[in-house]
Structure 1
Amino acid sequence: MHLRTDIILNWGRYEEHLDEAAFQWGQWERTLTASDQLLLEAAEAEEQLLARLDALVLGGERVAIRLLEPALASDEPERLSTAVFTLLGGDWSKSADAVLTLVENATPTALEAVRRALEVLEPQTLPAWLPSLLDKAPPLQALALSAMGTHLIAPPAPLARWVTAKETSVATAALQAATRLRTRIEWPLLKQAISSHEPQTRDAALIAALLSGHTETWRICRDMVVARHPGQTLPLLLLSLGAGPSGSTLLSPLADEPQSRADAVWALGFNGYVTAAETCLKYLDDDNVAPLAAEAFSAITGLVLAKPFVEDKAESEDEASDEGNGTAPTIHRPPGTGLPRPSTDDIRGWWAKNQKQFNPAVRYLRGQPWTPAAFLQGLWAEPMRRRHVLALEATLRSQGAFQLQTQAFTRRQFIGLTSLREAPPTLTSRPLAEGLFS
């Protein structure tokens, strides 16, 4: 007797799983840059998404053919990422071919959604055709390099081959892969990439250059800031992280200029020195950056942003954010949403009473002297959107030995953090650019 599959499978239920998974995928992406979410809280929300994804995979090949493969035609990035993730995770005979057909004909937006799905897949479920994309059109090369770098898969040819690519997306992906794989790139190639007019390529080259041991990169960052190059968020962050007490001196002129103030204040929050905290205090009266300045001040001094130091209403993430398009957020952009409005007089009064407790020569994190142990604990305890920068600093301080993927599912992050706690890497406590700036 032949049983009807539409009776065996509750298709309405699986359609609900797909719809909810797509919605929760977007919600999950937003938690990665949330100002009010901690890692454990993000993990709880993530469990809802993973439950929907698991349900779709457990539906088997019939669900894949009837619901997931048609979803590959969706123009919604979240739905597309969901479909790619579940099709490849299910490891059904023709699903990988269906995804490949999509990839070979995809728009840039669709390719980004595919990239994001590949990034968070478990390594064993990556499609076998991934390396073959390196011989195809530049957008597909970029996709392959990005996914392979994320999963620590070395390409068959030296990365330098793609670092010099004319297509900036390919060069960017190759440079990011070099960072992940700890592949040293020669200075002439990096210098060429650093001069790119594409900020993403330049930023990837700056990080790869620092990990390749090219100390002149610090001076290039300073020169970029002094020259007011566009897209200065990462150079400002690097100077704030690396220049020690001199960081606030280098960044203060940018904070004085309205067009670069948000970038500079965001970066100052990672400097940790008294001079940076005092610079942030100056901008508590600027409605455009006041919440960001208070957050930065809090990150250094440990002042808890609760009553009486904040007003009643915080700016809404949903009202002010332009994220949530189903792709990974830009992790080094200065966020300004979801933060409470500071009570300026109360914060300044607190500082007047407590300033004497802080040594201008000491770096602080949440009011405690900066130590490698306290810093690594921040990867567990800091708000989600600040963790991206802390992870970058951990990568730089460990010379690439520890690289936490803060855009991965939290279950993978927990594995990395647990191993870090059990065998912490050697981290230098000195300023990364020590001796290069007076």
Structure 2
Amino acid sequence: MHAISVITNQLVEGVVDLRQVRVGLEHAPHVRLLNLRRLDDRLAACLDGIVVAGGLGSAYCAMACESYRAANIFLLGVQGFLAGSTPIATLMLLSRNSAEAERGLLGALGWVGAPALRDPIRGLLTSSDPLQRRIALAACALHRVDPGPPLDAAFTATDTPLRDRAFRVAGDVGRMDLLPLLQAAALRDSEPAEPRFWAARSAVMLGDRGSALALLNKLAEGTDPFSDAAAELALKALDLPTAHQHLRHCAAQTKPDTPAAAQARRRLIRRCGITGDPHFIPWLIAQMTDLRLTRLAGEAFSMITGADLAWLDLDRKPPAGIDFGPNDDPEDDNVAMDEDDGLPWPDPDKVQAWWQTQQHRFPAGQRFFIGEPPSPAHALKVLRDGFQRQRIAAAQWACLLTPGTKLFPTAAPAWRQQRWLKAMG
């Protein structure tokens, strides 16, 4: 019995650790779907072992969730659904006053198969509790399921977070019939900033190229919390001349030598890659000579050209003595993670030589995404074979190119993504 107890405890700790790693990999620049599959298989094996342990597994999961960390709530949620030992009401109670616990619950709902969720989610969709309705709407979107009339009803809810989620889910599940309501919500001055952002974002995904897109572009030019998310979508949907105007606005913020200007320069590099015009390639190559910008510039270069710098031997070894993340020095106050961790270090001379031989394939003034003009077929190819950041962009392109397409969940369990991709292709 002692041996079983020790093994069960190790499995519980393993799930928490693997889940934390997994969340980081969902947006990683060097991770493909096959890499996620390997980790997901390990995570699933640990979860299966906990379920097999029965009551002992439930007890250890309950103890682990004395901490409200997202990974711990994920563990309790998945184990509860698989073993039927934790009512969804308990999970709701845990996440009521904790945003991190809510993220963990949503992670669990995205992990568990749709059949196990069908009955409990159906009940939550019509609940009088805004939190329960919000969680249920999110769960439907995670499984690419249209919530139906409960989604329509949430558009007029008095609870702002519920409206946020409803506006977001409408775009995620491709509800074209809700486009006029989303456009109206985006332009409603009385609406708080966050719901307006989600309404505009979904309206653009569903085909708006007018008022909602203009609002997204305006938000992208600001410094509010939605700026980067707005730019990721707006710069794909804008025509290239308007996108160039946006980038000139960003460039004007890089002039002074201040920390804010340094961040603005990073923002400009990233947005050049999103825009996809090869006109910016020479400037991006020039940025590769700055060690603080070189990896980000390399990623933007690859986002346009599709060049895998490591595979093509266009990278170099990391420079000695360079460390942009936390270190062991107790006198160093820098505790921020390295934003570019996982990206290759481009060799500017090699990249320049490659570009000289390949630039005839990339005429300036046209838009490219991972080496080709954006198209539904190419977006599907990137969803199959690309790195996670590229796959996230490909999911957006698929919606923009064919309004009404459901947003592909690039953070879903890898085996489910593979099944969906097979069905799509």
Report the equivalent of 1:329. none
Looking at structure 1, the residues matched to 151 and 113 of structure 2 have their Cα atoms a distance apart, in angstroms, of 23
C-alpha deviation, 1:193, in angstroms:
8.2
Report the equivalent of 2:166. 174
Report the equivalent of 2:363. 359
Report the equivalent of 1:113. 104
Report the equivalent of 1:122. 113
The yes-or-no answer on 1:309 pairing with 2:314 is yes
Amino acid at match of 1:88: F
Report the equivalent of 2:229. 234
1:374 and 1:409, CA in 2 relative to 1: closer, same or farther beyond 3 A? same
Q: 1:75 aligns with which of 68, 78, 84?
A: 68
Amino acid at match of 1:304: D
User: What SS is found at the alignment partner of 1:159?
Assistant: helix
* 1:129-208 matches, cutoff 5 A: 129-130=120-121, 131-132=123-124, 135-152=127-144, 157-165=149-157, 167-183=159-175, 184-185=178-179, 186=181, 187-192=183-188, 196-198=192-194, 201-208=195-202
User: What SS is found at the alignment partner of 1:126?
Assistant: helix
Identity %, equivalent residues: 20
Looking at structure 1, the residues matched to 130 and 70 of structure 2 have their Cα atoms a distance apart, in angstroms, of 21
Looking at structure 1, the residues matched to 238 and 335 of structure 2 have their Cα atoms a distance apart, in angstroms, of 31
Looking at structure 1, the residues matched to 15 and 323 of structure 2 have their Cα atoms a distance apart, in angstroms, of 24
* 1:238-317 matches, cutoff 5 A: 238-246=233-241, 247-256=243-252, 257=254, 258=261, 259-306=263-310, 309-313=314-318
Structure 1 runs of 4+ aligned residues shifted over 6 Å read: 314-318, 320-323
Q: 1:89 aligns with which of 73, 82, 87?
A: 82
Looking at structure 2, the residues matched to 138 and 402 of structure 1 have their Cα atoms a distance apart, in angstroms, of 24
C-alpha deviation, 1:350, in angstroms:
3.6
Contact 2:186 2:197 (C-alpha < 8 Å) held by counterparts: no
Looking at structure 1, the residues matched to 379 and 366 of structure 2 have their Cα atoms a distance apart, in angstroms, of 14
Looking at structure 2, the residues matched to 243 and 254 of structure 1 have their Cα atoms a distance apart, in angstroms, of 15
C-alpha deviation, 1:102, in angstroms:
3.4
Contact 1:302 1:365 (C-alpha < 8 Å) held by counterparts: yes
C-alpha deviation, 1:235, in angstroms:
2.6
C-alpha deviation, 1:206, in angstroms:
2.1
Looking at structure 2, the residues matched to 194 and 336 of structure 1 have their Cα atoms a distance apart, in angstroms, of 39
Contact 1:236 1:267 (C-alpha < 8 Å) held by counterparts: yes
Q: 1:417 aligns with which of 401, 405, 421?
A: 421
Contact 2:296 2:340 (C-alpha < 8 Å) held by counterparts: yes
C-alpha deviation, 1:47, in angstroms:
0.9
Amino acid at match of 2:137: L
Contact 1:281 1:293 (C-alpha < 8 Å) held by counterparts: yes
1:375 and 1:180, CA in 2 relative to 1: closer, same or farther beyond 3 A? closer
Looking at structure 2, the residues matched to 367 and 303 of structure 1 have their Cα atoms a distance apart, in angstroms, of 7
C-alpha deviation, 1:391, in angstroms:
0.6
1:343 and 1:397, CA in 2 relative to 1: closer, same or farther beyond 3 A? same
* 1:320-339 matches, cutoff 5 A: 336-339=340-343
Q: How far does the alpha carbon of each residue in 1:195-238 deviate from its partner, in whole angstroms, 9 at most, with x for none?
A: 6333xx44422222124443322222333345666632123222
Amino acid at match of 1:355: Q
Looking at structure 2, the residues matched to 362 and 387 of structure 1 have their Cα atoms a distance apart, in angstroms, of 21
Looking at structure 1, the residues matched to 339 and 132 of structure 2 have their Cα atoms a distance apart, in angstroms, of 31
Q: TM-score, normalised by structure 2?
A: 0.81
User: What SS is found at the alignment partner of 2:188?
Assistant: helix
1:41 and 1:418, CA in 2 relative to 1: closer, same or farther beyond 3 A? same
Contact 1:240 1:267 (C-alpha < 8 Å) held by counterparts: yes
Looking at structure 2, the residues matched to 207 and 126 of structure 1 have their Cα atoms a distance apart, in angstroms, of 28
C-alpha deviation, 1:392, in angstroms:
1.4
Q: TM-score, normalised by structure 1?
A: 0.79
1:81 and 1:317, CA in 2 relative to 1: closer, same or farther beyond 3 A? farther
Looking at structure 2, the residues matched to 49 and 318 of structure 1 have their Cα atoms a distance apart, in angstroms, of 28
Looking at structure 2, the residues matched to 80 and 402 of structure 1 have their Cα atoms a distance apart, in angstroms, of 28
Looking at structure 1, the residues matched to 216 and 93 of structure 2 have their Cα atoms a distance apart, in angstroms, of 42
User: What SS is found at the alignment partner of 2:340?
Assistant: coil
Q: Number of matched residues?
A: 400
Q: Decide which moves more: 26-35 or 285-294.
A: 285-294
Q: How far does the alpha carbon of each residue in 1:308-329 deviate from its partner, in whole angstroms, 9 at most, with x for none?
A: 6333128889859968xxxxxx
Contact 2:305 2:369 (C-alpha < 8 Å) held by counterparts: yes
Contact 2:70 2:101 (C-alpha < 8 Å) held by counterparts: yes
Looking at structure 1, the residues matched to 150 and 125 of structure 2 have their Cα atoms a distance apart, in angstroms, of 15
C-alpha deviation, 1:177, in angstroms:
1.9
Amino acid at match of 2:317: D
Report the equivalent of 1:102. 94
1:151 and 1:357, CA in 2 relative to 1: closer, same or farther beyond 3 A? closer
1:86 and 1:316, CA in 2 relative to 1: closer, same or farther beyond 3 A? farther
Contact 1:236 1:263 (C-alpha < 8 Å) held by counterparts: no
Q: 1:384 aligns with which of 382, 388, 405?
A: 388
Q: Unpaired runs of 5+ in structure 1?
A: 1-5, 324-333, 422-438
Contact 1:240 1:251 (C-alpha < 8 Å) held by counterparts: no
1:382 and 1:151, CA in 2 relative to 1: closer, same or farther beyond 3 A? closer
Q: 2:214 aligns with which of 179, 194, 219?
A: 219
